[in-house]
Amino acid sequence: MRIAVVSLFPLMLREALGHGVVGRALERGVLGVECFDPRDHATDVHRTVDDRPYGGGPGMVLKVEPLRGASRAAMARLPPGSRRVYLGADGRRFEQSMAREASEWPGLLLVAGRYEGVDERFIERETDEQWSIGDYVLSGGELPALVVIDAIARLMPGTLGSAESAEQESFGDGLVDWPHYTRPASVDGHAVPAVLSSGDHVAIRRWRLQQALGRTWLRRPELLERRGMSREERALLDEFKIERANRAERAED
């Protein structure tokens, strides 16, 4: 898959994209990312990309022409059928299902805004969708672009090693993670749950699924609603609830 990013801070993106899972995906060529700087498409000597808002008020607004120039240069490098996404704080909340869908697109153009915003006529006429990564105020669309690229890169075949992707296929899907432990076996008197050292792989699998179900029920009940449970999972969660209630009762005495 090919991704292009329109941004005033291409160095920020390039630096971040060089590390970890995404860096490896780029090295392996399962993913390609190119950056396009609107400043390269400004036409005046000062290479102006922003201007004061019509109607007055604080801050600056990104001008249409440099954004449009960068955006069209980027689309010319992407395959036909690529989609254009504007990253804006009031967009549709980005979630895993959108990453999954986007990972099937031939190409993706991400437009990162800065300052108070982007001229509305660019958003309306030159982009297809608007995504936000959550309800908090950031300074621009670069970090959201990196978030979106990271989430998509992990889904490209060939990005993750076979061990990692096998794990992705497991029941972890739609649940929060089970707890993880490594050596030493005891930290300040806190031992690792005995089942994990038992060598009983069926019991370990069952315990992990139960922990994932229990933690999802406690911390993210809306995920459990959305996902649903099998009969076996329901029984595991019921057992988790009973054990938890028993623990709470013992703690009271």
For ligand 9D3, give the closer residue by CB, 139 or 182.
Answer: 139
Residue nearest to ligand 9D3 (CB): 138
Q: Which stretch binds ligand 9D3 (CB under 6 A): 12-20, 69-77, 102-110, 136-144?
A: 136-144
- Report yes or no: 42 and 66 within 8 Å, Cβ to Cβ: yes
Stretch that binds ligand 9D3, among 29-37, 140-148, 197-205, 224-232 (CB under 6 A): 140-148
> Does 38 interact with ligand 9D3 (rule: CB under 6 A)?
no
Instruction: Estimate to the nearest angstrom the gap between the alpha carbon of 208 and the chain centroid.
Output: 24
User: Could you tell me the smallest distance in angstroms from the CB atom of residue 85 to ligand 9D3?
Assistant: 10
Element (H, E) at 62: strand 61-62
Q: Does 113 bind ligand 9D3 (CB under 6 A)?
A: yes
Q: Please name every residue paired with 92 in a beta bridge, in sequence order, or none if there are none.
A: 131
Among 70, 141, 148, 233, binds ligand 9D3 (CB under 6 A): 141
Residue 37 near residue 11, CB atoms below 8 Å? no
Query: Interface with ligand 9D3 includes 136 (CB under 6 A)?
Result: yes
Size of the site for ligand 9D3 (CB under 6 A): 16
Closest CA to 11 of 41, 35, 46: 35
Stretch that binds ligand 9D3, among 28-36, 48-56, 86-94, 154-162 (CB under 6 A): 86-94
134 binds ligand 9D3 (CB under 6 A): yes
DSSP string computed for 167-183: HHHSTTTTSPPPP---S
Decide if 38 contacts 25 (C-beta within 8 A). no
Q: Should residue 204 be labelled a site residue for ligand 9D3 when binding is judged by CB under 6 A? A: no
Alpha helices (runs of H) in the chain, residue ranges in sequence order: 10-17, 20-28, 64-77, 96-102, 120-126, 142-153, 162-169, 201-219, 221-227, 231-252
> Tokens representing 144?
């959201």
Least spacing, CB of residue 42 vs ligand 9D3, in Å: 20
164 contact partners, CB below 8 Å, separation of at least 6: none
58 binds ligand 9D3 (CB under 6 A): no
88 binds ligand 9D3 (CB under 6 A): yes
* 107, 140, 153, 209: residue in contact with ligand 9D3 (rule CB under 6 A): 140
129 binds ligand 9D3 (CB under 6 A): no
CB 164 within 8 A of CB 25: no
Which chain residues interact with ligand 9D3 by CB under 6 A?
A: 87-89, 113, 116-117, 132-134, 136-141, 144
